[in-house]
Amino acid sequence: MIAQIYEIQTQREAETCIELGVDHLGSILASNTAWRQPTLKDVMRATAGSAAKNSLIPLFNEPEVLYNVLDYYEPHYIHFCESLVHADRTLMDMERLAAIQSGIKERFPEIGIIRSIPIPPERLSHDFPTLAIAATLEPVSDFFLTDTWLGKEPVDGHIGITGRPQDWALAADLIDNSGIPVILAGGLSPENVYDATLKTLPAGADSCTLTNAPDADGRPVRFNKDFSRVRKFVKEIRRAEKTVGAEIDAAKSRLAHLKAKLEDREAALPAHSIRPHQLQIIEELEEEIARIENKLQRLEKTGL
């Protein structure tokens, strides 16, 4: 399960995250004019020779500028996080955004694309078009990342850094229906990531705001990581991995037992005069096998 940490803006931060076992390091690029930042390029280089991957979020989407950015930084991933849904719940220009991603895939096939998919808190999630949005962007994305949509975002036009949890049931629906890996984000912290990942079974979990250091009033400070919280966040993901791994092993064992039992029951059926209760037992076994196979499929989508 991928452990992802965002707002890593210096080489020292990147190296510390790698030492703590972070798998994906995310950095922010805010300006479409002053986009050449050697310090940020050092962050990209910090993953060389390690198993960690880097990703870059540009807070702009002009294609020609993006091409120059990708030539300069050569990240493993580029991550787009437009809100996709306006405050009145109308959609942004999805065709244009999909075309931008398609152009990057054609020009930079070696660079993966992460796309944030908006998911509101539970109280706002009724009839929200999360699955329809994902279906449109899946063909031109390599990863989805769920993030919390509030309608009025901290960074205008982009989702993220709210520190607020989303509707985990809707996130689980996206994970179950997606043909590409999904990373869970949105209000995740060392305190809730274990429960969140077990409820949704994503391919990974991401934290930004709630692994930042607090100010004097206890509010997270942007671009200022608390590495003790990063350590705990990674530790909780690894704990969730062990739990999921144990569930996978148990499901496989139970499945093998049931299939053997079904085979024995079918072999013991008489050639004639099959009784209703015999068919009922077989049907119940088939139903339980199907249920466990579905559970195992969900568990294995975590990549374990």
pLDDT tens readout for residues 185-239: 999 999 999 999 999 999 999 999 999 999 988 888 898 999 999 999 999 999 9
- Specify whether 249 is located in the same domain as 238: no
How many domains are there within the chain?
Answer: 2
Note the pLDDT of residue 304: 79
- Specify whether 195 is located in the same domain as 284: no
Residues 154 and 101: their CA atoms lie apart, in Å, by 24
- Specify whether 233 is located in the same domain as 295: no
Note the pLDDT of residue 74: 97
- Boundary residue ending a domain (207, 227, 244): 244
pLDDT digits (tens, 9 = 90+) for 11-54: 999 999 999 999 999 999 999 999 999 999 999 999 999 999 99
Q: Which domain range does residue 9 map to?
A: 2-244
**Helix, strand, coil content of the chain in percent (nearest 5):** 45, 20, 35
- Specify whether 253 is located in the same domain as 198: no
**Residues 6 or more apart from 191 whose CB is under 8 A from it?**
none
- Boundary residue ending a domain (196, 227, 244): 244
Answer for the pair 61, 32: CB distance below 8 angstroms, yes or no.
Answer: no
Distance (Å) of CA 257 to CA 170, 248, 251, 294: 33, 14, 10, 16
- Specify whether 227 is located in the same domain as 253: no
pTM of the model: 0.92
Tokens (6 digits) for 163: 């520190």
Distance (Å) of CA 14 to CA 20, 22, 151, 158, 180: 10, 9, 32, 24, 26
- Specify whether 161 is located in the same domain as 273: no
- Specify whether 150 is located in the same domain as 178: yes
- Specify whether 165 is located in the same domain as 87: yes
